[in-house]
Structure 1
Amino acid sequence: MVKHRESRPGQRSSAGPGRTNDRRADAGYKPGKPPAKPSRDQGPARDAGKRSERAVEQRDPVGAASAPERPLIARIGDRPPERVPVILESLGAGDFHLIDTGNGLKLEQYGPYRIVRPEGQALWQPTLPAHIWDNADAIFTGDTEEDGMGRWRFPRQVLGETWPLQLLGVDFLGRFTSFRHVGVFPEQIVHWEWMKQQIEASSRPLKVLNLFGYTGVASLVAAAAGAEVTHVDASKKAIGWGRENQALGRMEDLPIRWICEDAMKFILREERRGNTYDIILTDPPKFGRGPNGEVWHLFEHLPMMLDICRAISSPQALGLVLTAYSIRASFYSIHELMRETMRGSGGAVESGELVIREAGLDGKTSGRALSTSLFSRWVPK
């Protein structure tokens, strides 16, 4: 089970302009000292064609659109009631928990491995002594600028590219990528647990659309719970990883459509066809390029994307979930956009931050909370 709680109105949110997540921290590793910025000649050669790191190798720019194919729909009716700020908090689940943070770094447990990665929001000092951090199995170093690449250092022994993990009863592969990610974004656990509960509690089969689906962990969780899933990602590599995860978990018979396509083009086509979904998850990058050169800018294209997502939500829809990373904005920006998009739909819009709380070496010792992303979620009641 996921250990998480929701902080409801009554506490002032810490989110605000300038709030970002971990995707831009400098690399270098030295507990007790701030991480040093690497020199330009460290690590693999820089690839001038790479984009924002949430829109490269691991996600390969999904959902790009150079121009809208239809105007925004003028929505009428009352805006849904709001629930703000909502803090969705996880203490970890399955094979993952956050051990410690500090000095621009985080120490995490992923199955048998302890991993150190950059974390720009960890402004405080680590709780655990330096020798614990020094004894990690893998440490990400190298160039971690938005268009840069890095490398992994293995202090104890050289590890393979992948290793088995489990979250919410789903087996998948962790992966050491050159962009410091490991094949799963555990801050999303709270959304996945919510989705799983909706599917299992439903008296009818549900259809789930997972946009910007990456390696497919959310899609596998939804399918294992009993949903019919459509997974969309523009990266052939990510789709391949998703299928590999499906095979690893012996879930080949579950109803998952793996769609390698630009997300905006896909949902526009679904709208024209009249196809609808009961739950839509969307996790777009800040910037990206599609497989045919399409350009995606979050602030430019997000209104249209949400507008289309509303159009393809079923009359009995149970949720539309948006997360936003590495943007200079308050959660209120996406919150108010979601409320405008869902005018006249009833329900409610709840928005705030996703946080992961330190759980110590034992995975049970509650510590400091680390903010990871902004989110907004429409629910029918």
Structure 2
Amino acid sequence: MNGLSPNFVTLISEPRTDYTLIDSGAGRKYERYGDKSFIRPEPQAMWQPALSDWDADAEFIPGSDDEGGGRWYNHRPVPTDGWPLCWNDEVTFNAQCTPFRHLGFFPDMDPVWRWMRGKLTGLAEPDAMNLFGYTGVGTLALSAVGAKMVHVDASKKSVAQARVNAEMSGMTDRPVRWIIDDAAKFAAREVRRERRYDAILLDPPKYGRGPDGEIWRLEEDLPPLIADCRRLIDANSRCLFLTVYAVRMSAMALGALLKSHFGDLPGRVEFGELAVREQTRGLLLPTAIFARWSQD
């Protein structure tokens, strides 16, 4: 194995129809989701905005606590039950203002899904798993190129929305297992079942709860989960991708974690950041850190 690549990789989400970062600065970002625009907090936007007027449909104002509180304030009517968007002319899904300041999907994952799809090219119905799969846009993006998917999330509401998104995309007949479960417990059971996967996507939160009250703490629980994922991957597998948001952690540390478990396999481990390109000036707004293993 080539080991841990010393090159820092940046995966960039470019402006597109379903999502565009219009402008950013002063701790906020101005975004377009389809035909609707929003303002959300963004601590990493430490520069000044390029535009003087952000005419958004709604803005999320954070609360005074440190637990992610806050609420949306509408300047124009925004459908409370959401509105349809389409990724890559293949996956139709419902965007919606959530209490957690998100809008029903993570648009900066676009280059991740494209990279994984490229790694699965040439395989007939590869087996892939999406842990912490949220509303399923990534699951459907991989399913669209023929992958047999296992989608795992602890939230009944998120999995229900993922099923709706599959229906909106005309993909209800695709081989997808929709699993409501604690991701770590499910992965451990898959190891005991001696399952294997061609690709695994992980997007774990910093903190979370499973359906039976299980507690997820990233720093404590990620290493054993990665160890189990290694047992689900073999020398014929294609890739594993790990993203981490909003933590005081280094991308290099994630890369070292993957290398410690995947170092015996052919291929390489790389690490870096996800970023979104701002439309107005072309600035790159960092959003997450990642590490990935793949066959060359």
TM-score (norm 1): 0.75
Paired with 2:131 and 2:196, the residues of 1 have a C-alpha distance of 14
Aligned position for 1:177: 98
Q: Which segment drifts farther, 339-348 or 144-153?
A: 144-153
Aligned position for 2:117: 196
Q: 1:327 to 1:341 in 2, by over 3 A?
A: same
Q: Which segments of 5 or more consecutive residues in structure 2 lack a partner in the other structure?
A: none
Q: CA contact under 8 A between 1:106 and 1:122: conserved in structure 2?
A: yes
Q: Which structure would you say has the larger RCO, counting Cα contacts within 8 Å and 6 or more residues apart?
A: 1
Aligned position for 1:328: 248
State yes or no: 1:82 paired with 2:38: no
Q: 1:144 to 1:224 in 2, by over 3 A?
A: farther
Aligned position for 1:337: 257
Aligned position for 1:65: none
Q: CA contact under 8 A between 1:90 and 1:187: conserved in structure 2?
A: yes
Whose strand fraction is larger, Structure 1's or Structure 2's? 2
Q: 1:253 to 1:114 in 2, by over 3 A?
A: same
Paired with 1:142 and 1:211, the residues of 2 have a C-alpha distance of 28
- 1:170-249 matches, within 5 Å, as 170-199=91-120, 201-249=121-169
Aligned position for 1:98: 21
Q: Which amino acid aligns with 1:373?
A: A
Paired with 1:191 and 1:283, the residues of 2 have a C-alpha distance of 11
State yes or no: 1:300 paired with 2:220: yes
Paired with 1:93 and 1:158, the residues of 2 have a C-alpha distance of 21
Paired with 1:107 and 1:144, the residues of 2 have a C-alpha distance of 21
Post-superposition CA distance 1:239-297 (Å, at most 9, x none): 01101111111211111110000011111111111111101000111122222222222
Paired with 1:232 and 1:128, the residues of 2 have a C-alpha distance of 41
Aligned position for 1:167: 87
Paired with 1:120 and 1:311, the residues of 2 have a C-alpha distance of 37
Shift of 1:94: 3.5
Shift of 1:115: 0.9
Q: Which segments of 5 or more consecutive residues in structure 1 lack a partner in the other structure?
A: 1-77, 361-365
- The number of residue pairs the alignment matches comes to 295
% same residue: 42
Q: 1:145 to 1:371 in 2, by over 3 A?
A: farther
3-state secondary structure, aligned to 1:353:
strand
Find the structure with the greater CA-based Rg: 1
Paired with 2:118 and 2:133, the residues of 1 have a C-alpha distance of 19
3-state secondary structure, aligned to 1:127:
coil
Shift of 1:158: 4.5
Q: CA contact under 8 A between 2:255 and 2:269: conserved in structure 1?
A: yes
Shift of 1:315: 3.5
Q: CA contact under 8 A between 1:170 and 1:220: conserved in structure 2?
A: yes
Shift of 1:356: 0.6
Q: 1:346 to 1:81 in 2, by over 3 A?
A: farther
Paired with 1:306 and 1:145, the residues of 2 have a C-alpha distance of 32
Q: Which amino acid aligns with 1:379?
A: S
Paired with 1:349 and 1:266, the residues of 2 have a C-alpha distance of 24
State yes or no: 1:367 paired with 2:282: yes
Post-superposition CA distance 1:179-229 (Å, at most 9, x none): 110011111111101122233x21422111000000000001111111100
Q: 1:104 to 1:81 in 2, by over 3 A?
A: closer
Paired with 1:129 and 1:337, the residues of 2 have a C-alpha distance of 43
Q: 1:144 to 1:353 in 2, by over 3 A?
A: farther
State yes or no: 1:267 paired with 2:182: no
Q: CA contact under 8 A between 2:91 and 2:137: conserved in structure 1?
A: yes
Shift of 1:144: 6.8
Q: CA contact under 8 A between 1:184 and 1:215: conserved in structure 2?
A: yes
Q: Which segment drifts farther, 150-159 or 139-148?
A: 139-148
Q: Which segment drifts farther, 173-182 or 88-97?
A: 88-97
- 1:6-155 matches, within 5 Å, as 80-130=3-53, 133=54, 135-143=55-63, 145-155=65-75
Paired with 1:334 and 1:197, the residues of 2 have a C-alpha distance of 22
Post-superposition CA distance 1:65-120 (Å, at most 9, x none): xxxxxxxxxxxxx6724242111112133311110001111011100101111101
Q: Which amino acid aligns with 1:113?
A: K
